Structures are given as structure tokens and as C-alpha cells.
């Protein structure tokens, strides 16, 4: 399944059950003003580019995340484009 399709599916699934995150995945909140929840594979945490993105999020937000989860301060489209470049593992 393509990354974009998986993300779309996770966004539509969010409406049904905001609390459920499948095993092997984590929820992140993406956006600068309005934040959307994305469910991504945990394996992305090992990707060097994603680690750099997390470092930038730490610089922006520290460890106090107002959404109750990991918040990434970039546009939602940029995030989708960014992780679409990752190969499935």
C-alpha cells in the first residue's frame, strides 16, 4: 500500500477511533496552526531524516507537547511528501 493511501486511511480512521493506534505504529500531530493526527510506522523513527525532523520538533516544542503526543511543526503536505520518500520496511 502506498504511503499516501495509508495516511489517508489513518486520517479517516481517526474519526472512528481517535485512541486506537495499531501495534507497530505511533500517532504524531503535524501542523503549525491547525494540527492533524497521522499514524505512522514505528520503523520511521530509525530513519536518519526522520530523526532530524524530530530534533527540529524538539527545538521548537521541547518535550511539552500540548496535543498529548509528539507534535511536528511543519505543514501537513510537507510531512506527507517527506515520509512518502521513505521505503516500506
Torsional sign, CA 87, 20, 7, 64: negative
What is the pLDDT averaged over residues 7-21?
A: 59
> Looking at the domain assignment, is residue 60 inside a domain?
yes
Q: What is the per-residue pLDDT for 4? A: 59
Q: Is residue 20 in some structural domain? A: no
* Higher per-residue pLDDT: 60 or 56: 56
Q: Which range among 2-6, 55-59, 70-74, 77-81 shows the weakest confidence by mean pLDDT?
A: 2-6
Provide the number of structural domains found in the chain: 1
Break the chain down into helix, strand, coil percent, rounded to 5.
45, 15, 35
Tell me the pLDDT tens digit for each residue of 38-56. Answer: 999 999 999 999 998 888 8
Domain that holds residue 70: 3-15+28-84
For residue 23, being part of any structural domain is answered with no
What is this structure's pTM?
A: 0.68
pLDDT, tens only, 15-28: 545 568 899 998 88
Amino acid at each position: 500500500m502506498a504511503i499516501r493511501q495509508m495516511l489517508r486511511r489513518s486520517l479517516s480512521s481517526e474519526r472512528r477511533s481517535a485512541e486506537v493506534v495499531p501495534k507497530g505504529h505511533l500517532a504524531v500531530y503535524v501542523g503549525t496552526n491547525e494540527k492533524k493526527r497521522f499514524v505512522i510506522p514505528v520503523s520511521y523513527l530509525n530513519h536518519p531524516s526522520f530523526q532530524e525532523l524530530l530534533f527540529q520538533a524538539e527545538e521548537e516544542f521541547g518535550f511539552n507537547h500540548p496535543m498529548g503526543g509528539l507534535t511536528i511543526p511543519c505543514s501537513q503536505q510537507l510531512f506527507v511528501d517527506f515520509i512518502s520518500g521513505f521505503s516500506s520496511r
